[in-house]
Amino acid sequence: MVSAELKILSGTSNQHLAGLIAKNLKINLTDVEICRFADREIYVQINESVRGADVFVIQSTSNPGNENIMELLIMLDTLKRASAERITAVIPYYGYGRQDRKAQPRTPITAKLVANLISTAGANRILLLDVHALQIQGYFDIPVDHLFATPVLFDFFRNDKRDFVVVSPDAGGVERARFFARLLSTNMAIIDKRRSEKNKATMMNIIGENLIKGANLIIIDDMIDTAGTLCSAANALAERGARDIYACATHGVFSASAIDNINKSALTKVVVTDSIYFNEEKKSQTDKIETRSVSGLMAETIKRIHEDKSVATLFLDADTGGIVVLE
C-alpha cells in the first residue's frame, strides 16, 4: 500500500517502543489524544487526518490488560470511523494469550474472544510478537504476521566467546530453545516439570543433565511473569553445578514479586525485550535485568507490510526453514 500515507499511532501502554519504531521509520507519531474521564471511561481523539492512510496502531495489552485492550478497541473504532484505508493492530504483547484453549471444563478461550473484539473494532490485519500459543494466529479471520524476537535476544550473546548450553524450561518451549541453540551452535537441555498450581511448577528431572555441570546456561522462554518457575529452575540448575545462568524471554511481564524473586535467585542476568515497558521504578530495583529493543525489527516489518513486501524472509532460512539472525 505504497500509495497510501504511512502513519503510526501509539496507545498509552508502550509509548517508548512506539516512539523508537517511528524514529526507525523516520516519521513522527500521529498526534492522538487519549484520556480518562472521572469515571475512568476512555476517550480518544485523533488530531490529524488519517483519511486514506495506512495506519499502524501500537499497543501492548499488558497490565493493566483490560484497560489497554479497551483502549486499543476504541482507537481501532476511531480510525475506522475516520476513514483510514487500512488499519493494522501492532500488539507486541498479546494479553490473555495463555487462555488459548479449554484446559478444564466450563472455562473460556479468552484469547479467541480478544481476537474477535479486535477484528470487530476495525482492524484489517494484525502484527504479533512471540505470541504464547502459535494457534492464536488462527483465531483471527484477517491476515496475521507473527514475529520472533529470537534474533534480538541472541544479539546479547553475539560477541560472547564462552560456550553455552541452552535450556528449555518445559517441553512446550523445545522449538524455541532449539532455534536459539542453533544460532549459538551449541547443545540443548530440557527441564521436565509438572505444574502444581497457578504460576508455580515442580521440577521433575532434566533431560540432558550431563550437560549442566560446569556449563554456562541460557534458559529461553516466551515470557517471565512472577518468575517463580524460572527462579526455581535456575536454583536447581545451580545445585547441579552450573556456572553462570542467564534467562532470555521476549516478554518481561514481571508481576507480583518477580523482581525480588530474580534478585534472590541463582540467575546471573535476565534479558528481555521492550515489548512491555520496563519502567524506571522497576529498573531501580535490580541490576540483573537488561532489555533489548525490538523497535528495529518491528519498524522493518511495518515498512515491508506498508510496501507489500514479504515479512517471512526476515526469518526463514531457505535451506532449513528455521530462524536466521538479522544482520
Provide the CATH number for the domain around residue 34. Answer: 3.40.50.2020
Q: Residues 61-67: what's their mean pLDDT?
A: 97
Shared domain check, 75 and 61: yes
193 is catalytic: yes
Shared domain check, 179 and 124: no
Q: Residues 192-220: what's their mean pLDDT?
A: 80
Domain tally, the chain: 2
Shared domain check, 166 and 224: yes
Q: Residues 52-59: what's their mean pLDDT?
A: 99
Shared domain check, 188 and 216: yes
Parent domain of 27: 6-148+295-314
The residue from 7, 23, 193, 198 that is catalytic is 193
Largest separation between any pair of C-alpha atoms in the chain: 62
Smallest CA-to-CA distance from 21 within 32, 33, 30, 8 is with: 8
Residue 80 has pLDDT above 70, yes or no: yes
Shared domain check, 185 and 244: yes
> 20: pLDDT confidence band, cut at 50, 70 and 90?
very high
Shared domain check, 95 and 176: no
Q: Is 1 a member of any domain?
A: no
Shared domain check, 66 and 160: no
Average per-residue pLDDT for the chain = 92
- pTM assigned to the model: 0.91
Shared domain check, 117 and 218: no
Lowest mean pLDDT among 31-35, 229-233, 285-289: 229-233
Shared domain check, 286 and 157: yes
Residue 318 has pLDDT above 50, yes or no: no
